[in-house]
Amino acid sequence: MSKSAQGPEVVSRVGDLLRGVAAHEPHGVSTTDVARDIAMARPTAHRLLTSLAREGLVDRDNGTGAWHLGPELYLLGATASPRYDVRDPAREVVHDLAAGTGESAFFSARRGDETVCLLREDGSFPLRSHVLHEGIRFPLGVASAGLVILAHLPEREQEAYLARADLTSTWGELHSADGLRDRVAETRRVGYATNPGLIVEGSWGMAAAVFDGAGAPAWALSLTGVESRFREDRRPELGRLLLDQAHRLTRSLQASGP
């Protein structure tokens, strides 16, 4: 491989590695596990992590050997936050969803072919789903947030994603392209997405899309909980609440945007 081809490849691998470490915060992750998660050879992962640690982009726990995101990332993120941080306008909406439903409420952002959870607030109901937490990422179409974002993308963009994404090897045959097309069609019909325990059996989720100033589905609000809390007669009510709050947050973010 030529040197000119190596540079972009290394940047891409570093990005995968940082996202892989982030997915395991706050507990950290071993070299072996993060390498497995992102399909990278362990020696390559170790070499890159060691280089990133010298730059302060990752940090290693001397006791456990687990890798964490580093202090330099915090400083870079703090500098970038005035331009990109949308959590403050979302906090009140997420709180109102959790308080009004008793379920766990979330705010997630689209990043390329994934969603990343930015906010979580638990409601009053004592039984909770623990599938989602702040920082966790899922491919589009897997969690309800990613499904509702996928459903509101232009059809050409949807099909391009379905052509390149291989979800069945990790998430099972129900995440085939045809299966996702069926769920996308249902989501578009009712306006909100439902995940009937496809990630963890018995853990349900519902989501509504939040749109940026260009009208693109850039974020999502979602609710998760145990199956008995998402029975058929309650789902329309939860769906309406999600859509109402998603519309409210869309207006707020569009008003505060550039």
Task: For residue 172, give the CATH number of its domain.
Answer: 3.30.450.40
Is the pLDDT assigned to residue 4 strictly greater than 50?
A: no
CA dist 25 and 68 (Å) reads: 7
Is residue 72 located within the same domain as residue 90?
no
Is the pLDDT assigned to residue 99 strictly greater than 70?
A: yes
81 in a structural domain: no
Is the pLDDT assigned to residue 2 strictly greater than 60?
A: no
Task: For residue 15, give the CATH number of its domain.
Answer: 1.10.10.10
Is the pLDDT assigned to residue 131 strictly greater than 80?
A: no
Is residue 93 located within the same domain as residue 53?
no
Is the pLDDT assigned to residue 188 strictly greater than 90?
A: yes
Which of 125-139, 158-172, 208-222 is the least confident region? 125-139
Instruction: Tell me 174's DSSP state.
Output: G
Of 49, 76, 103, which residue constitutes the final position of a domain?
A: 76
pLDDT digits (tens, 9 = 90+) for 45-65: 999 999 999 999 999 999 999
97 in a structural domain: yes
Examine residue 89 and say whether the peptide bond preceding it is cis (omega within 30 degrees of 0): no
Is the pLDDT assigned to residue 187 strictly greater than 90?
A: yes
Is residue 65 located within the same domain as residue 90?
no
- As given in the structure block, the two tokens for residue 124 are 């009053």
Counting residues of the chain whose pLDDT is more than 70, the rounded percentage is 96
Confidence of residue 22 (pLDDT cuts 50, 70, 90): confident
Contact by Cβ (8 Å): 196, 219: no
pLDDT digits (tens, 9 = 90+) for 223-258: 999 999 999 999 999 999 999 999 999 999 988 765
Is residue 213 located within the same domain as residue 241?
yes
- Mean pLDDT for 180-190 is 96
Is the pLDDT assigned to residue 181 strictly greater than 50?
A: yes
pLDDT digits (tens, 9 = 90+) for 146-177: 999 999 999 999 999 999 998 998 898 989 99
pLDDT digits (tens, 9 = 90+) for 59-92: 999 999 999 999 999 888 778 776 777 888 899 9
24 in a structural domain: yes
Is residue 160 located within the same domain as residue 240?
yes
Is residue 43 located within the same domain as residue 153?
no
User: Could you tell me the sign of the dihedral formed by the alpha carbons of 155, 158, 163, 169, in that order?
Assistant: negative
Of 26, 43, 76, which residue constitutes the final position of a domain?
A: 76
pLDDT of residue 19: 87
Is residue 40 located within the same domain as residue 116?
no
Is residue 96 located within the same domain as residue 178?
yes
pLDDT of residue 85: 72
241 in a structural domain: yes
pLDDT of residue 128: 74
In the three-class reduction of DSSP (H, G, I as helix; E, B as strand; rest coil), residue 59 is classed as strand
Is the pLDDT assigned to residue 107 strictly greater than 60?
A: yes
Is residue 106 located within the same domain as residue 230?
yes
Is residue 166 located within the same domain as residue 240?
yes
70 in a structural domain: yes
**By residue range, what is the domain housing residue 144?**
86-256
Is residue 8 located within the same domain as residue 62?
yes
Beta pairing class for 67-69 and 217-226: unpaired
150 in a structural domain: yes
Is residue 122 located within the same domain as residue 220?
yes
Of 46, 76, 106, which residue constitutes the final position of a domain?
A: 76
Question: Per the structure, how many domains does the chain have?
Answer: 2
Distance of CA 39 to the CA centre of its chain: 19
